[in-house]
Structure 1
Amino acid sequence: MEAKFISSAQNPLVKKILQLKEKSRERRKAGVFVVEGQREIELAQKGGYVLQTLLYCPELMGSSSVEAFTKTSDQEIIQVSESVYGKIAHRGTTEGIMGLMRSKDHTLANIVFKDETPLVLVAEATEKPGNIGALLRTADAAAVDAVLIANPKSDLYSPNIIRSSVGCLFTNQIGVGTTDEIIDFLQTNQIKIYCAALTASKNYVECDFKAASALVMGTEATGLTEKWLQNSDQNIIIPMQGEIDSMNVSVSAAILIFEAKRQRGF
């Protein structure tokens, strides 16, 4: 398949890509986002994301081939110069390849569980893209059944989230909603709510996570909102032995998730 060639940074597609990277409003409007790097594109395609446009710079790709990513004839394939790729790349080490992928619908109605005892990670109002990415990496490592994000403060398709998640944005089943919507979803599906909190809490190792369970994490600064605490089946805590009373949210989530997995025999 013969590819088009772009050598000018003033090309309309180059300008569009820069807007998609920088503005969540443009991503939502177009229903498209930018993915850089061979691994990330492979994970996105494996996760069911549709590749709309593939851009590549042969001078930066080495021995890799674009054919591995063009699984259908519907994709637009565009070769770009090194200078153009340098302008549109979010980081320098992306193997000279990027794609425009179609966004998914992350409404809670699309969440499907494979059995009646799902393990779910919930994050409320997490602001820092690095924390969201780290949570998604942890969720992937433990193969949780879903990650639900309540009252999101960042666009899921932000380049910073994609980068910090090392592609795990695409390997997790993700649902987005308000706190009320997610609480209702969990209760409707008879999933017990375990809130990480400092008050009225039980040591996490004393809890039984073998039934359908949701581990709910708040922000590092303010914790969970009162609505979660009112609907919690059990508040849980990781005992601190030093001077501080909390850890990074992704570290705390990892400890809780892998205890739940240990109890389940994994």
Structure 2
Amino acid sequence: MAFPSDPITSPQNPRIKNLLKLQQKSSERRTQGLTIIEGLRELTIAHGAGVAVPALFVCPELAGTERLAQLQALFAESRPEWFAVSRPVFEKVAYREGSDGVLALARPPQRTLASLHLPKAPLLLVLEAVEKPGNLGAILRTADAAQATAVIVCDPRTDLFNPNAIRSSIGCSFTVPTVATTREELLAWCQQHGIRTYAAALTEHAVPYTTCDFRGPTALVMGTEADGLTPELRQACTQTIIIPMRGAIDSLNVSTATAILTFEAVRQRGA
């Protein structure tokens, strides 16, 4: 394809410098209302979810003819700006090894609890103070696979559309409604909508997750791997639950634990 301008060959180009800012600083992503999506697969999923993409940065050498043709077809109607980028410069802004030469600026959706459309028996995944983008991305993949109603993050320590979270989610950051809120707002909202909250935590009153009924309005509440749930949130939940451990270890990775609980809820619901 013919690009509308000459290839970007300098890392000092203002557009390249801005890409690096967006990649590295959550404050820039918030201020500009933009994030970065790398990879054709992730970009295709985001586009299918209706995410606006104002600009594409493509390395023709890495992307190849077939991938360029797929991009052209994908964005034939929305027509974002296209920029060719030399391989050395693209590899400077790419944030994963073996990149396919496709990177995009995207406008992530801004959602609130009030904007969520709840079915009769919503299934919500709640994460408190999540700080690792990889864990957030993995949980978003689980939410997409299970068709959870939403992922709600209380007091997040990473922004929901961190490029590494998008990469780990393989684009599912955009297929699942995701909201950042506070603990207080979440608890009030769950009470208002009659949603039972199940806190995953090792306490003396915790019951095995298989003994719980997740068929009604349900929120599965998960803490960080390092600290677990705060006492305030744990004590405010309807029930504390555990995944019984049979070995020497007493807990699982938070994304693994979330997947186990989520698909138990899906099984109970007969999906």
TM-score range for the pair, normalised by the shorter chain length: over 0.9
Aligned residue number for residue 31 of structure 1: 33
In structure 2, relative to structure 1, the CA distance for the partners of 1:71 and 1:182 (3 Å cut) is farther
Q: Distance in 1 between matches of 2:122 and 2:54?
A: 33
2:121 to 113, 117, 125: 117
Does the 8 A contact of 2:11 with 2:89 survive in 1?
A: yes
Deviations 1:63-118 (A, max 9, x none): 222312324355211111112211111123331111100122132222112x2101
Pick from 36, 40, 43: which aligns with 2:42?
A: 40
Partner of 2:134: 130
Give the deviation of 1:226 after TM superposition. 2.0
Q: Do residues 140 (structure 1) and 144 (structure 2) align? A: yes
**Which residue is 1:229 aligned to?**
234
**Whole-Å Cα distance in 2 between the matches of residues 39 and 83 of structure 1?**
22
Deviations 1:113-143 (A, max 9, x none): 2x21011100101111221111111111211
Structure 1 residues 137 and 30 mapped into 2: Cα distance closer, same or farther (>3 Å)?
same
What secondary structure is seen at the aligned counterpart in 1 of 2:221?
strand
AA matched with 1:221 = A
2:77 alignment counterpart: 72
| Aligned counterpart, 1:59 | 61
Contact 1:111 1:174 in 2 (8 A): no
Please state whether the residue corresponding to 2:47 is helix, strand or coil. Answer: helix
Q: How far apart are the structure 1 equivalents of 2:234 and 2:161?
A: 29
Partner Cα separation in structure 1 for residue 158 and residue 26 of structure 2: 9
Is residue 15 of structure 2 the alignment partner of residue 10 of structure 1? no
CA contact (8 A) 1:38 1:94 kept: no
- The equivalent residue for 1:240 is 245
Task: Determine if contact 2:129/2:154 at 8 Å carries over to the other structure.
Answer: yes
- Within a 5 Å distance, the mapping from 1:193-208 to structure 2 comes to 193-199=197-203, 200-208=205-213
2:216 matches 1:215: no
Identity %: 47
Q: Which one-letter code corresponds to 1:239 in the other structure?
A: P
SS of the residue corresponding to residue 106 of structure 2 reads: strand
1:250 partnered with 2:255: yes
Supply the distance in 2 between the matched residues of 1:262 and 1:33 (Cα, whole angstroms): 35
| Residue of structure 1 equivalent to 2:182 | 178
The equivalent residue for 1:156 is 160
CA RMSD of aligned residues (A): 1.5
Comparing 61-70 with 171-180, greater Cα deviation is found at: 61-70
Amino acid at match of 1:42: T
Distance in 1 between the 2:74 and 2:210 partners?
Answer: 44
- What TM-score, normalized by structure 1, do the two folds share? 0.95
Instruction: Please give the secondary structure, in 2, of the residue aligned with 1:29.
Output: helix
Deviation beyond 3 Å, 4+ runs, structure 1: 71-74
Greater alpha carbon shift after TM alignment, 201-210 vs 91-100: 91-100
Displacement after TM superposition at 1:2 (Å): 4.5
| Distance in 1, Cα, partners of 2:193 & 2:48 | 27
Partner of 2:22: 20
Bigger Cα displacement from structure 2, 95-104 vs 221-230:
221-230
Q: Using the alignment, how far apart are the partners of 1:166 and 1:94 within structure 2?
A: 13
Q: Unpaired segments of 5 or more residues in structure 1?
A: none
Separation in 2 of the partners of 1:202 and 1:179?
23
User: What is the letter of the counterpart of residue 206 of structure 1?
Assistant: T
Q: Evaluate the alpha carbon distance shift between residue 8 and residue 221 of structure 1 in structure 2; reply closer, same or farther with a 3 A threshold.
A: closer
Please tell me whether residue 263 in structure 1 is matched to residue 265 in structure 2: no
Which AA in structure 1 matches 2:72? Answer: E
Specify every segment of 5 or more residues in structure 2 that has no aligned partner in the other structure, as ranges. none
Q: Take 1:36 and 1:110, find their aligned partners in 2: how far apart are those partners?
A: 28
